C-alpha cells in the first residue's frame, strides 16, 4: 500500500483517531494519509496534521486537484522510501566498516604465526600496566622466554616444524596465564615475553617455572640440542614496583639481563634478576628427559 485516502465523513468512524492508530503501527507509519473532508476550519486541519495527515482534499472532489495531490503524496512516499533505503545501506556500510576496523585492530596487535600478542601490543600493554602499577604502588613483573638452540632446531627439523614448535610454545605460555591483566606476547623470533600485573618476583618465578616445565613436557624432539633431547626454554624474570625514577625500559633491561644469566648458566632454567645476577639461588632444574 502506497497511499491512504481517508474520508472524515464516513459514519461511525473517527477519521482522525483512525489516522493516529495507523501512524502508531510500524507497518503503516510511513504510508502517507490524505484526508478528504468538507470541514476546512483551522482547528480541524491543525488536529488532522498533528494526527499524521500529510495533505487534505475538500469536498466536493475536484478530479484535477485529486490527481495532483495524490501524485504529490506518492512522490513524497517514494522519496521517503528511497531515503530510508539509503539510510539502511549506510548503516550496513557503517556496520561492515566497524567490523573491518575491529579485525584490523586485532590483526595489528596479533602475531600472525602464533596467534598471541605481537611486539606492538606488548609495548602498549606494558606501558599501560606500568602506569596502573605506578598509580597503585603495586608490583609489576616481566618474564622473557627464549627457546634454547632454536636455530639448530630449524636447521635440523625444518622451518615448518619450527613454526609449529613456536605455536605450541605460545599456547603453553597462554595456558599458564589466568588473569585478564596478564599478557603473553611474541617478542621477536624465538623469544617471548609475559607481562604479569600485581605480581612480585617470587610469584613471577613460579609462573616462569611452570612455563619451563610445561614446554619441556610437550616433548618436542630436538636432535640438535646440546641441552636436552627435547625442546627447552630459558627464562629471565624481573619485577619492580614503579616509582618516579623507573621506567618500563628498566624492567625490560632487568628481564633481559636475567635471561642472559639463564643462558650463561646452562639454559633450560629460570633466572631471576638480582644484583648480582645469580641463577644458583634457584634449585637446579630437573630435566624431564633424564
Q: Which residues are catalytic?
A: 190
Residues 6+ apart with CB under 8 A from 10: none
Dump the DSSP string for the chain: ---EEEETT-TT--HHHHHHHHHHSTTTTTS-EEEEES---HHHHHHHHHHT--EEEESSP-HHHHHHHHHHHHHHHHHHHHHHHHHHHHHHHHHHHHHHHHHHHHHHHB-TTTSSB-HHHHHHHHHHHHHHHHHHT--EEEEEEEETTHHHHHHHH-HHHHHHHHHHHHHHHHHT--STT-EEEEEETTEEEEEEET--HHHHHHHHHHHHHHHHHT--B-TT-SS-SB--EEEEEEEE---TT--HHHHHHHHHHHHHHHHHTTSSSEEE--SS--GGGSPPPPPTT-
Instruction: Tell me phi and psi for residue 59, to 5 degrees.
Output: -90, 150
Euclidean distance between CA atoms 100 and 114, whole angstroms? 21
Task: Give the C-alpha separation, 287 to 122, whole Å.
Answer: 30
Question: Exposed (0-12), middle (13-18) or buried (19+): which is 218, by Cβ within 10 Å?
Answer: middle
Amino acid at each position: 500500500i502506497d497511499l491512504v485516502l481517508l474520508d472524515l465523513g464516513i459514519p461511525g468512524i473517527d477519521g482522525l483517531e483512525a489516522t493516529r492508530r495507523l501512524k502508531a503501527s510500524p507497518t503503516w507509519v510511513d504510508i502517507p494519509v490524505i484526508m478528504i473532508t468538507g470541514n476546512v476550519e483551522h482547528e480541524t486541519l491543525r488536529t488532522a496534521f498533528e494526527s499524521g495527515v500529510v495533505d487534505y482534499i475538500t469536498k466536493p472532489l475536484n478530479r484535477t486537484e485529486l490527481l495532483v495531490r495524490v501524485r504529490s503524496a506518492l512522490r513524497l512516499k517514494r522519496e521517503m522510501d528511497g531515503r530510508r533505503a539509503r539510510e539502511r545501506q549506510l548503516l550496513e556500510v557503517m556496520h561492515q566498516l566497524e567490523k573491518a576496523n575491529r579485525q584490523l585492530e586485532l590483526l595489528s596487535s596479533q602475531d600472525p604465526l602464533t596467534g598471541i600478542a605481537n611486539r606492538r601490543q606488548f609495548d602498549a600493554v606494558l606501558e599501560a600496566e606500568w602506569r596502573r602499577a605506578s598509580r597503585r604502588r603495586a608490583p609489576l613483573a616481566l618474564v622473557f622466554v627464549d627457546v634454547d638452540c632454536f636455530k639448530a632446531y630449524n636447521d635440523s627439523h625444518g622451518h615448518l616444524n619450527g613454526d609449529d614448535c613456536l605455536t605450541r610454545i605460545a599456547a603453553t605460555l597462554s595456558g599458564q596465564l589466568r588473569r585478564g591483566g596478564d599478557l603473553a606476547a611474541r617478542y621477536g623470533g624465538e623469544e617471548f615475553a609475559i607481562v604479569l600485573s600485581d605480581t612480585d618476583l617470587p610469584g613471577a618465578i613460579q609462573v616462569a617455572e611452570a612455563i619451563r616445565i610445561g614446554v619441556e613436557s610437550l616433548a618436542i624432539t630436538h636432535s640438535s640440542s646440546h641441552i636436552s633431547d627435547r625442546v627447552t626454554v630459558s627464562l629471565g624474570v624481573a619485577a619492580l614496583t614503579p616509582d618516579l625514577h623507573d621506567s618500563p625500559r628498566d624492567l625490560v633491561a632487568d628481564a633481559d639481563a636475567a635471561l642472559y644469566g639463564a643462558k650463561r648458566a646452562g639454559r633450560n632454567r629460570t633466572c631471576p634478576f638480582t644484583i648480582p645476577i645469580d641463577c644458583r639461588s634457584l634449585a637446579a632444574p630437573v630435566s624431564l628427559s633424564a
